[in-house]
Amino acid sequence: MNLRDFDAYFMKMALREAEKAASDGEVPTGCIVVEPAVAEPAHDGHPAVIDPNPALARILGRAHNQTEGLSDATAHAEMLALTSAMAAKGNPRLVGARLYVTKEPCPMCAGAIVLARPSVVVWGVSDPKRGGGTVFDIFSHPGMNHHPEIATGVLEDESRDILQRFFRGRRN
């Protein structure tokens, strides 16, 4: 299995979380935070090489949007998954972790992600109106103290489809 397949494996889990959100009447966004196994440790300024076997990775947190159910505007999938992941690690820093989310994080979530410091953020579909990365440039802003690697478009069609089905249903 290669890294792209590894990412797709965990994005499928994030999509299952998004389905849970949709069934609860929430905007269907799901998030998974994963600590991959290390195949080769970091050395001489080179980053660690992850083992692409998903069975060796540890899921630190998983969540879906719960803003309506919890009456909490901050209860986005990313915020809840980050909180779970930091509790699982017993550390507010998630260095080495990969965060998977079906829709590009909003500015609030992007800010929290920067503070939590996962090494990689992977999302399915970009948000051209209010994306924390593509519109507000939070992940690469020079004033930020952490700049995670970004991978986009992983299971993009599936991620877009669940959002479109949800909002079509809302309009009908």
Which residues have a catalytic role annotated?
78
The pair of structure tokens assigned to 130 is: 């209010």
Q: Using CA of residue 149, residue 153, residue 155, residue 161, what is the dihedral sign?
A: positive
Closest CA to 56 of 34, 41, 36, 85: 36
How far is Cα 156 from Cα 81, in angstroms, rounded to an integer? Answer: 20
Residues 6+ away with beta carbon under 8 Å from 145: 114
CA distances for 23 relative to 14, 17, 125, angstroms: 14, 10, 20
Which residues share a beta bridge with 121? Answer: 99, 150
DSSP class of 91: S
